[in-house]
Amino acid sequence: MIAYQLSIFAENKPGKLAHVTSVLAKEKINIRATTIATADTFGVISLIVDDPKSAQAALMAAGMTVNLVDVLAILIPDKPGGLDELMQLLFKENININNAYGFVLESSKKAVFVVDVEQMAKAEKLLEEKGFQTLDTAALCAMEPSCSVK
Amino acid sequence: MYWEKEIETIERRQLEKLQLERLKQSINKASKSLYYGDKFKDKVINAAAIKSIQDIEKIPFTTKDDLRGNWPYGLVATSKDELVRMHSSSGTTGRATVIFHTAGDIAVWTNLVARCMYMTGMRKSDVFQNMMTYGLFTGGLGFHYGAEKIGALVIPASAGNSKRQIQLMIDFATTVVHVIPSYALHLSTVFTELKIDPRRDTKVKIAFIGAEPHTEKMRRKIEEIYGYKAFNSYGLSEMSGPGVAFECPNQNGLHIWEDSFLVEIINPQTLQPVRDGEEGELVMTTLQREGMPILRYRTKDLTRIIPEPCSCGRTHRRIERIKGRTDDMMIIKGVNIYPMQIEKKLMDIEGVGTNFLIVLDREEFNDLMTVKVEVNKKLFSGELKKLEALRKKIAEELKSEILITPKIDLVEPDSIPKGEGKAVRVIDNRKD
């Protein structure tokens, strides 16, 4: 399954991230993971949120440059070697990772590794064959205790 | 002390007589060109209508747009066979203007440059290192010819390659250099790097600095670093190039050679002449050019006439160092750049938004150009890699147009303030 990552263009200066978080806070959007990639004077803020479409709309209404990017959110066990197993598989299949980050869902139990790869469909199929679970936005949300009671 | 005593110290009245005579010749010559021939046809302007040099006001101004609009041969007044050289303003592609010279024009120009150099104290025994770009730009060849005319040994080093410049300077005991002021300051950092003291380890005593506007403070700084005298040089390709106006040993204003150019200062708004001593736009008429005479050329450079006579004995009036421009032309590292050139290029690049801003800074002694470019909202993919590729592409595209590599800052859409009316395209933070 494919999940959405919210990517926001931002200049590399104070207050830019604060602007993003204030808009999301107002919309009651929960942020699961964040990563920022910077190239000198500008960068891209990437977020995994519980409601990416509403988040995109709200950020764009606030004048920001936003895109929803397809990513694979892969469920992995939160234990030593948990990520390694996944990495060895992708390496063996020669799947290149452009960007990746992770977050823990349940300590010592479940974590999610988010990857942006070039061959999205191939990677997704492969992961499913090998028994990895990929999560879409709804599934990501459902896994979140605070989210599921909403 | 004078290259040509008689003409340099000519009595004003005699000079004006000479000017009137040459102005009439210039008008006659100019009327043989397609452009002026056509212009004068309706208005019945001819040499006979010019009774005094004040009558020049009957002649319409010529602008850079006129030169562009009649590119390339519209203002050529001789047979093309007579032309021996062309030069082009700062080598920019889209808006270049071309000036053609006959052998006679080159001889007159060379003599004027020699006159300038001699005035500052340069002699036959000197070793002259010309650190200006050779090529379409007039600063290279113009000075080269002038120096050879004096009989000095010329090192045609051309621009760039700082370590080699310093090596040449030391190996051949250079005594006179021609250099862009910002480059002189940059070069001083290379001297420091190499642990060479220009004051102690070189023999340079005279520098000609020009091709970009600079302040008195900057000149004094250059003189202090190098321990030489730096003389301000003014010229423009439309008036042949260097050799138009130059400082004498008094270093107080630039003598503008009035036997070769008729000088007016006008109010750029009303286009009326200002009084001697008042600031305005410099307007010049070639008095000796054959291949491409230009009448009442609006230089867009702001200056004023210094009316008081100069103690050096030269009667040709002085202009003050150039204060600025009446248009939006920027001069960076000696290259003339218009915001329009940047705008045109940017608009052709996919992924670029509608607004941009040019910021000029001076860091360490180097002029830096930053172009802030708004990204296009619709084309944002979310990938940093693509943004970096876009930035690289913009830098490369602009370099192909303006010859220098600007720093590119990608900024958010609508983040550049839009002024009311005409957009502010340039912020110049350069000081001294």
C-alpha distance from A66 to closest chain B C-alpha (Å): 7
Side-chain half-sphere of B5: how many Cα atoms within 13 Å? 1
Boundary-marking domain end, from A17, A40, A69: A69
Task: Report DSSP letters for A94-130, one per residue.
Answer: TPPEEEEEEEEEETTTEEEEEEEES-HHHHHHHHHHT
Q: Does the pLDDT of residue B381 top 90, yes or no?
A: no
Which segment of B234-248, B271-285, B290-304, B341-355 scores lowest on mean pLDDT? B341-355
Q: Are residues A7 and A62 in the same domain?
A: yes
Residue A7 lies in a domain: yes
Boundary-marking domain end, from A69, A92, A117: A69
Q: Which two tokens stand for residue B412?
A: 């958010």
Is B379 within 8 Å of chain A by CB?
A: no
The neighbour count for residue B200, using CB atoms within 10 Å, is: 7
More confident residue, B49 or B286: B286
Q: Does the pLDDT of residue B12 top 60, yes or no?
A: yes
Q: What pLDDT digit, counting tens, does each position of B326-357 carry?
A: 888 888 877 888 888 888 888 888 888 768 89
Q: Does the pLDDT of residue B93 top 50, yes or no?
A: no
Of the pLDDT bands very low, low, confident and very high (cuts 50, 70, 90), residue B423 is low
Spatial separation of the C-alpha atoms in residues B20 and B320, rounded to whole Å: 24
Residue A18 lies in a domain: yes
**Contact flag A67-B375 (C-beta cutoff 8 Å):** no
Q: Which helix (H) or strand (E) holds B220?
A: helix B216-226
| pLDDT, position B432 | 60
Q: Are residues A78 and A123 in the same domain?
A: yes
Spatial separation of the C-alpha atoms in residues B282 and B254, rounded to whole Å: 13
- Token pair 């933070």: residue: B429
**Contact flag A68-B382 (C-beta cutoff 8 Å):** yes
Spatial separation of the C-alpha atoms in residues B219 and B205, rounded to whole Å: 14
Q: Are residues A121 and A60 in the same domain?
A: no
- Structural domain span for residue A45: 3-69
Interface of A with B in 22-81 (CB under 8 A): 37-39, 41-44, 46, 63-69
Average pLDDT over residues B52-65: 93
Residue A91 lies in a domain: yes
Which segment of A59-63, B227-231, B364-368 scores lowest on mean pLDDT? B364-368
Is B363 within 8 Å of chain A by CB?
A: no
C-alpha distance from A41 to closest chain B C-alpha (Å): 6
Measured torsion, CA atoms of residues B40, B43, B47, B53, in degrees rounded to the nearest 10:
-110
Is B368 within 8 Å of chain A by CB?
A: no
Which residue of A38, A46, A67 is in closest CB contact with B381?
A67
Residue A150 lies in a domain: no
**Contact flag B411-A42 (C-beta cutoff 8 Å):** yes
CATH number (domain holding residue A82): 3.30.70.260
Q: Does the pLDDT of residue B288 top 90, yes or no?
A: yes
Of the pLDDT bands very low, low, confident and very high (cuts 50, 70, 90), residue B366 is confident
Of the pLDDT bands very low, low, confident and very high (cuts 50, 70, 90), residue A145 is low
Q: Are residues A8 and A64 in the same domain?
A: yes
Residue A55 lies in a domain: yes
**Contact flag B387-A39 (C-beta cutoff 8 Å):** yes
Q: Does the pLDDT of residue B362 top 90, yes or no?
A: no
The total number of structural domains in chain A stands at: 2
Q: Are residues A51 and A83 in the same domain?
A: no
Which segment of A137-146, B81-90, B92-101 scores lowest on mean pLDDT? A137-146
Q: Does the pLDDT of residue A25 top 90, yes or no?
A: yes
Q: Does the pLDDT of residue A148 top 60, yes or no?
A: no
Q: Which helix (H) or strand (E) holds B119?
A: helix B103-119
More confident residue, A61 or B378: A61
Which residue of B381, B385, B409 is in closest CB contact with A42?
B409
Candidates A42, A56, A66, A68: best to mutate against B (most CBs of B within 10 A) is A42
Residue A148 lies in a domain: no
Q: Are residues A75 and A138 in the same domain?
A: yes
More confident residue, B384 or B147: B147
Spatial separation of the C-alpha atoms in residues B20 and B47, rounded to whole Å: 10
Average pLDDT over residues B80-106: 84
Q: Does the pLDDT of residue B420 top 60, yes or no?
A: no
CA-based nearest residue in chain B for residue A11: B411
Partners of A7 on chain B (C-beta within 8 Å) are 380-383
Q: Does the pLDDT of residue A50 top 70, yes or no?
A: yes
- Token pair 């002024």: residue: B419
| pLDDT, position B287 | 98
Partners of A65 on chain B (C-beta within 8 Å) are 375, 377, 380, 412-413
Looking at this predicted complex, what is its ipTM?
Answer: 0.79
Which residue of B380, B385, B410 is in closest CB contact with A67?
B380
Of the pLDDT bands very low, low, confident and very high (cuts 50, 70, 90), residue B95 is low
Q: Which two tokens stand for residue A121?
A: 């469909």
Q: What percent of chain B has pLDDT over 70?
A: 97
Q: Are residues A51 and A92 in the same domain?
A: no
Average pLDDT over residues B203-220: 89
Q: Are residues A96 and A138 in the same domain?
A: yes
Which residue of B375, B383, B384 is in closest CB contact with A65?
B375
Coil vs helix vs strand at A20: helix
Q: Are residues A25 and A59 in the same domain?
A: yes
Candidates B380, B394, B414, B415: best to mutate against A (most CBs of A within 10 A) is B380
Class of residue A96 by CB neighbours under 10 A (exposed 0-12, middle 13-18, buried 19+): exposed
Spatial separation of the C-alpha atoms in residues B315 and B308, rounded to whole Å: 10
**Contact flag B412-A65 (C-beta cutoff 8 Å):** yes
Is A94 within 8 Å of chain B by CB?
A: no
Q: Does the pLDDT of residue B291 top 50, yes or no?
A: yes
Is B121 within 8 Å of chain A by CB?
A: no
Spatial separation of the C-alpha atoms in residues B162 and A81, rounded to whole Å: 55
- Backbone torsions φ then ψ of B274, nearest 5 degrees: -95, 165
Which residue of B377, B391, B409 is in closest CB contact with A65?
B377
Residue A65 lies in a domain: yes
Residue A137 lies in a domain: yes
In B219-351, beta strands by DSSP E: 229-236, 241-247, 254-256, 261-266, 279-286, 297-306, 318-319, 324-325, 330-332, 335-337
CATH number (domain holding residue A51): 3.30.2130.10
Spatial separation of the C-alpha atoms in residues B148 and B131, rounded to whole Å: 15
Which segment of A28-37, B12-21, B44-53, B269-278 scores lowest on mean pLDDT? B44-53
Coil vs helix vs strand at B167: helix
Of the pLDDT bands very low, low, confident and very high (cuts 50, 70, 90), residue B150 is very high
Q: Are residues A122 and A80 in the same domain?
A: yes
Q: Are residues A91 and A137 in the same domain?
A: yes
Q: Does the pLDDT of residue B92 top 70, yes or no?
A: no
Q: What pLDDT digit, counting tens, does each position of B157-176 carry?
A: 999 899 999 999 999 999 99
Is A98 within 8 Å of chain B by CB?
A: yes
Q: Are residues A83 and A63 in the same domain?
A: no
Spatial separation of the C-alpha atoms in residues B131 and B140, rounded to whole Å: 8
**Contact flag B380-A66 (C-beta cutoff 8 Å):** yes
Q: Which domains does chain B have, with CATH numbers?
A: 5-327 (3.40.50.12780), 338-428 (3.30.300.30)
